[in-house]
Structure 1
């Protein structure tokens, strides 16, 4: 099962439980890239929802594409700190290797998930600083 940006918003609106973790389907490969995030808040509101939606938007903006699917990533570490997203290397069309993913994601390091610019340096309340990208 996968969701596009619009259906993900609907799904998240219907799900009020932040304790439930998404079911992960078996992967053909364990390769991919982990994006590590640091929240500007000690206790962020709705982190899984914000991270999911804003990651989809950031990917689409970074690649000049649309139709990013929630099935392209492992979102299980978006519920509580420490926050991270794992991008599978075998699922995103035209980005099926770790090198292809890294070419997009490495540019995110030092930027904000929500703000389109790197300033303010301390980030806006509720934003997430992208601190690292690690590919395996």
Structure 2
């Protein structure tokens, strides 16, 4: 009979353990379900905010994306095949950019030089303008003298 008593006690303990495991499992499932719902709601809220931000400032988002892409591109190491394929292209782009910068600088110098008159031309313009002022003053004086004597 002792054996039966021990079996009954062991059977009762196993039944209690199974019920405890089932309760723990149910609790874990409930926690996981709650975490899933919470994460899903947070993701939906974040997506809505991102959509509103993109609609409000599309150029800022574009600029940010370009900047992020440039940063990531600069941080990632170049592979050997990329260096083989893109190396000559990079050199050509650098040379073209340097030539364009030089051409722009020269064109700017030419524009400034043509906008600023040279010394002799400036003197001639001033003489001409001064001569016109003197002639206008003479004509004004003659008109005043003629007008005052006629009155």
TM (normalized to structure 1)?
0.16
Between structure 1 and structure 2, the one with the greater Rg is 2
Of Structure 1 and Structure 2, the greater helix share is in 2
Task: Compare relative contact order (CA 8 Å, sep 6+) and give the higher one, 1 or 2.
Answer: 1
Of Structure 1 and Structure 2, the greater strand share is in 1
